[in-house]
Amino acid sequence: MRTKLILLLLLFLAGPLFQLTAQNAICVVTTTDNVEHSIGLWEDHQMYFDQAYRLVIQNSPNSNHVFPLSEIRKVVFTEITNTEENPTQAPYILPNPTSNHFIVRGLPEVCLGKVIALDGRLVKEFEASEGSVIDISGLSAGMYLLNINGQTLKMMKL
């Protein structure tokens, strides 16, 4: 309770002055109902607290994710490093192993991707481009194969 009061006081004092401009990161906001919201943050995205004490993550001028402070349990940032584009590079994902999402890197264009269980079942299809965040929270823990742009990758879901 004391921590929330201190945070509220800081938010009140900072108000709209607190603003983060992201540079290639994943933000996972866990709400009080234990739902994880994974949001990719790139150079042109912004994150700030508004005057109504809500966390706002602005992906574009028309796309906002808004979380009232009272509904936030945890916010975790994962920085993405080594993001230089190399068009001849094979696709890869990160993080790996992962729990609820992964990011696709090394794609020259939009591609169809498939998640395949080790028994050969197709468990998920997705469309991916460079930097796409793919949600796999509905999959069971274990090893999977990813087929992206003609390449097969291994992925472990925790």
Q: Write out pLDDT tens, residues 104-127.
A: 988 888 999 999 999 889 999 999
Using only the alpha carbons of the chain, give its radius of gyration: 18
> Count of alpha carbons within 13 Å of 47, Cβ hemisphere only?
19
Predicted TM-score (pTM) of this structure: 0.49
CATH tag, 92-157: 2.60.40.10
Q: How confident is the model at residue 147 (pLDDT cuts 50, 70, 90)?
A: very high
pLDDT of 19 higher than 50: no
Give the neighbor-by-neighbor strand order of the sheet with 92-94.
Answer: 92-94, 101-105, 133-135
Site of tokens 């094979």 = 90
- Helix H or strand E encompassing 3: helix 2-14
| 8 Å CB contact between 35 and 107 | no
| 8 Å CB contact between 24 and 43 | yes
Where does the chain hold its CATH 2.60.40.10 domain(s)? 92-157
In this structure, what token pair is assigned to residue 118? Answer: 């080790």
Give the residue from 77, 89, 99, 103 showing the smallest Cα distance to 25.
77
- Residue 75: the pLDDT is 81
Q: How confident is the model at residue 51 (pLDDT cuts 50, 70, 90)?
A: confident
Give the residue from 5, 61, 64, 2 showing the smallest Cα distance to 29.
64
